[in-house]
Chains A and B, each alone.
Chain A
Amino acid sequence: MANDKRDIEIKAFADHHVITQPNPLRKVLRRVTETDHDDPVARAEKALAGLSGEFKKWMAIEADRLSAAYTVVLKHGFTDETREELFRAAHDIKGDAATFGYPSAGAAAESLCRIIEHAPDLEKVPSELIVYHINAIQAIVRERTKLDTVSTASALSRQLRGVADEYLMQVNRDRPEHLEAILAPSIAPAD
């Protein structure tokens, strides 16, 4: 269903071109009657729920990857490579954890991502600040089945974010572009 470049229309203006083409995907849009009750979104949600038995295992793998990345940092210090892997491991948890049913782990991972992204010198970040984030994520993942852990996990990740933000605002007080990014609201809905 690739585009046929022969059908493309180009209109030239002083400093730009506007390019239009027949929509190559129009053939996949199909009109249905109101009696058609097929709901692809509901079907997909059901399929996702069917995968949920795997989520705890996946989350444990992601948390262990984060711990392993920090073990490498402790051994070799922050290099481009070790920083990148630590960030990617935290960033994956930030993105995946809510889908896997661990929104508080995602919030703690987001806080860790902000530290890695905005601290002017990662070697000077108190190691406890990073360790507390990683331990919190591990604890949330391992202890999730206990009844009282949901509110505790949420309070824990909020506290970590508060401490991390306070640190970041202090060390970035002379770096306005980072301060702006730290204070900017997220476009993603909060859990």
Chain B
Amino acid sequence: MLRGPAMFRIDFNKLRFLVCDDNPHMRRILRTLLHSFGAREVYESEDGATALEMYTHYVPDIVITDWSMPIFDGLELAQMIRQPESKGNPFAPIIMLTGHSEKRRVTVARDAGVTEFLAKPISAKGLYQRILNVVANPRPFIKTKTYFGPDRRRNTSNAYIGPERRVGGEVEVLQQPSLLDKARSSV
């Protein structure tokens, strides 16, 4: 739970979720957690292909997907959603919930346009925090020749040493102000 000078909650009953996991036990756990948070609309799919159809049909606000699945996996699902010219919504937050816990996997998921990565074992707190983060702290989207998705730079660091990979002027990233920061500054 958020604590501090201003406290915020998510009205889960206004959010529509799409959960994609081939394991029925994990889907049951996710459904239980989301309903306990207060969500009413939770759509479920057991593979990426069906999830993509449901994504177009139900227009969910947040997608929670496993990585490893039959037909096409969660990574491919993220890539299919992140098509800037598609008729559907290419901006929906995607939370990847997976048993893969290696750093290189996180990088691959990030490069596919995944918004948040949550390594299993799942916890109520971990899931809540990821949802809170995508609701309250959206990142701008970046489109390059090879990437379309949330800004992969979460922080700007003066200590960064290495080649500048983006070209184009002094201000390269427009920060979308965090709702939490905005609200706190107005208190």
Please tell me if A43 contacts chain B, counting CB pairs below 8 Å. Answer: yes
Q: Do A14 and B36 have beta carbons less than 8 Å apart?
A: no
Residue of A nearest to B180 (CB): A29
Q: Are B166 and A15 in contact (CB under 8 A)?
A: yes
| Residue from the list A9, A17, A28, A184 in contact with B102, Cβ < 8 A | A184
Let me know if B121 and A43 touch, CB within 8 A: no
B62 neighbours in A (Cβ, 8 Å): 25
Does A188 sit at the interface, judged by CB under 8 A? yes
Number of A-B contacts (CB under 8 A): 192
Asked if A32 contacts B15 (CB within 8 A), the reply is: no
Report A-chain residues with C-beta under 8 Å of the C-beta of B183.
29, 31
List residues 40-74 of chain A with CB under 8 A from any CB of chain B.
40-41, 43-48, 50-51, 58, 61-62
User: B16 contacts the other chain (Cβ, under 8 Å)?
Assistant: yes
Task: State how many angstroms separate the Cβ of A94 from the closest Cβ of chain B.
Answer: 5
Query: Is A26 interfacial (CB-CB < 8 Å)?
Result: yes
Q: Could you mark each residue 116-160 of chain B with 1 if its beta carbon is under 8 Å from any beta carbon of chain A, else 0? A: 000111101101100000111010111111000001000000000
Check if A38 is an interface residue, CB within 8 A of chain B.
Answer: yes
Q: In the bound complex, do residue A29 and residue B26 qualify as a contact, i.e. CB atoms below 8 Å apart?
A: no
A96 to B120, CA, bound (A): 7
Chain A at the B interface: SS class: mixed
Within 8 A of A (CB), among B142-187: 142-145, 151, 166-169, 172-174, 176, 179-180, 183
Contacts of A44 in B (CB 8 A): 32-33, 36-37, 124, 127-128
Contact status B122-A99, CB under 8 Å: yes
> Which residues of B have CB within 8 Å of A20?
140-141, 174, 176
The reply to whether A25 and B135 form a contact with Cβ atoms under 8 Å apart is yes
A76 vs B1: C-alpha distance in the bound complex, in angstroms?
A: 51
Nearest CB of A to B36, in Å: 4
**Contact assessment for A30 and B15 in the assembled complex, using a CB-CB cutoff below 8 Å:** no
| Partner of B168 from A3, A16, A61, A88 at Cβ < 8 Å | A16
Tell me if B167 and A13 are in contact (CB < 8 A).
Answer: yes
How many B residues touch the partner, as a band? 35 or more
Q: Do residues A40 and B36 form an inter-chain contact, with CB atoms below 8 A?
A: yes
Which residue in chain B gives the minimum CB-CB distance to A51?
Answer: B32
Minimum Cβ distance to chain A for residue B140 (Å): 5
User: Which of B9, B12, B176 has the most chain A CB within a 10 Å cutoff?
Assistant: B9
- Across the interface, A41 reaches (CB within 8 A) one of B14, B128, B176, namely B128
Contacts A2-B89, A16-B144, A91-B68 given: A181-B104 contact, CB under 8 Å?
A: yes
Chain A residues within CB distance 8 Å of chain B: 1-3, 9, 11, 13-21, 23-34, 36, 38-41, 43-48, 50-51, 58, 61-62, 87-88, 91-92, 94-100, 103, 106, 113, 181, 184-188, 191
Q: Other CB < 8 Å A-B pairs besides A1-B61, A51-B32, A87-B68, 14 of them? A: A13-B168, A15-B145, A18-B173, A23-B138, A23-B176, A25-B138, A31-B183, A44-B127, A48-B124, A51-B28, A91-B68, A95-B26, A100-B25, A184-B102
3 shortest A-B CB distances, which residue pairs?
A13-B168, A95-B99, A188-B101
A-B contact pairs, 18 of them (CB 8 A): A15-B166, A16-B172, A18-B174, A20-B140, A20-B174, A27-B11, A31-B7, A32-B8, A43-B37, A44-B127, A46-B36, A48-B36, A50-B32, A94-B99, A95-B98, A186-B101, A187-B101, A191-B121
